[in-house]
């Protein structure tokens, strides 16, 4: 049987203000957040570190250049003709576009294989988006990529953020699937949201909120646990097969 409006409201920890109006959960101790610190995030199989042009630019461009250009299809930038073009665009987005860019380094090879950025901060409301995600062919569909996404998500929630966003082109099947695999909740589609590379983009919105995080964290950590991998590094259970446990 469907929940009544009152029971649905109570499930959200909303309350009646005494005038017959339901209002959201009280957050008496809330204060705006600060931007996330630029620190190294150390994992078991990867390290996520703040982007430095002189250290990461050339090896990242080399890793990206092993792709045929399709990795940039749904990005508003790329592919890049040369290293300088890649650095110019990356630094422009960091310096003027609000991108806080991190590099994903595989510990086994010690090679930088991808990048991702915190962006569109809403400090007053404790929200940040993960975007600008560029994975080289060597990083795609790997446990290193999953651990990197986990580390960046954990970094946000450990610093008191209440909302962590993922947005992508509705037609980008890989990105939509990745969001769901990582535990994001689909929230809807913003139609005619963006024009990029001379074409229309309808944008899918996904989020993880602070109430979700304990369940999402448990699930990701269970999948990343060494016991879930054989001697050849192959997963025993897929992340998609692991259920999200009920929260408190």
Q: Does the residue 164 lie in any domain?
A: yes
User: Mutual orientation of helices 53-64 and 83-96 as an angle, nearest 10°?
Assistant: 120
Sheet containing 127-135: give its strands across.
41-42, 46-50, 100-106, 111-122, 127-135, 163-169, 199-209, 185-196
Q: Which two tokens stand for residue 205?
A: 């919105």
Domain containing residue 46: CATH number: 3.40.630.30
The residue ranking higher by pLDDT, 177 or 7, is 177
Structurally, the chain folds into a number of domains equal to: 1
Closest CA to 208 of 133, 135, 134, 150: 150
Q: Does the residue 55 lie in any domain?
A: yes
The residue ranking higher by pLDDT, 2 or 103, is 103
| pLDDT at site 1 | 62
List, for residues 90-123, the tens digit of each pLDDT value. Answer: 999 999 999 999 999 999 999 999 999 999 999 9
Q: Does the residue 137 lie in any domain?
A: yes
List, for residues 159-201, the tens digit of each pLDDT value. Answer: 999 999 999 999 999 999 999 999 999 999 999 999 999 999 9
CA–CA distance, 172 with 168 (Å, rounded to integer): 7
Residue 120 lies in domain: 32-234
Taking 50 as the threshold, does the pLDDT of residue 248 lie above it? no
List, for residues 57-69, the tens digit of each pLDDT value. Answer: 999 999 999 999 9
User: Quick one: residue 18, left, alpha or beta (phi over 0 = left, psi -120 to 50 = alpha)?
Assistant: left
Q: Does the residue 221 lie in any domain?
A: yes
Q: Does the residue 11 lie in any domain?
A: no
* pTM, 2 dp: 0.94
| pLDDT at site 66 | 96
């Amino acid at each position: 049987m469907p929940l009544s409006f009152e029971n649905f409201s109570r499930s959200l920890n909303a309350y009646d203000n005494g005038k017959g109006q339901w209002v959201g959960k009280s957050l008496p101790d809330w204060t705006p957040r600060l931007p996330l610190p630029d620190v190294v995030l150390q994992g078991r199989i990867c390290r996520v570190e703040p982007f430095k042009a002189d250290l990461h630019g050339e090896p990242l461009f080399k890793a990206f250049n092993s792709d045929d250009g399709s990795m940039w299809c749904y990005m508003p930038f790329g592919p890049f003709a040369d290293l300088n073009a890649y650095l110019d665009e990356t630094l422009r987005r960091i310096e003027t576009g609000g991108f806080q860019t991190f590099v994903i380094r595989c510990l086994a090879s010690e090679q930088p294989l991808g990048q991702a950025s915190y962006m569109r901060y809403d400090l007053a409301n404790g929200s940040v988006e993960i975007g600008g995600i560029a994975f080289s062919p060597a990083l795609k569909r790997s446990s290193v990529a999953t651990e990197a996404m986990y580390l960046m998500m954990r970094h946000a929630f450990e610093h008191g953020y209440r909302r962590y966003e993922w947005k992508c082109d509705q037609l980008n099947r890989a990105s939509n699937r990745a969001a769901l695999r990582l535990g994001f909740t689909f929230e809807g589609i913003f139609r005619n949201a963006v024009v990029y590379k001379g074409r229309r983009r309808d944008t899918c919105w996904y989020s993880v909120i602070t109430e979700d995080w304990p369940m999402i964290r448990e699930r990701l950590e269970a999948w990343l646990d060494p016991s879930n991998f054989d001697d050849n590094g192959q997963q025993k259970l897929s992340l998609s097969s692991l259920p999200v446990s009920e929260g408190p």
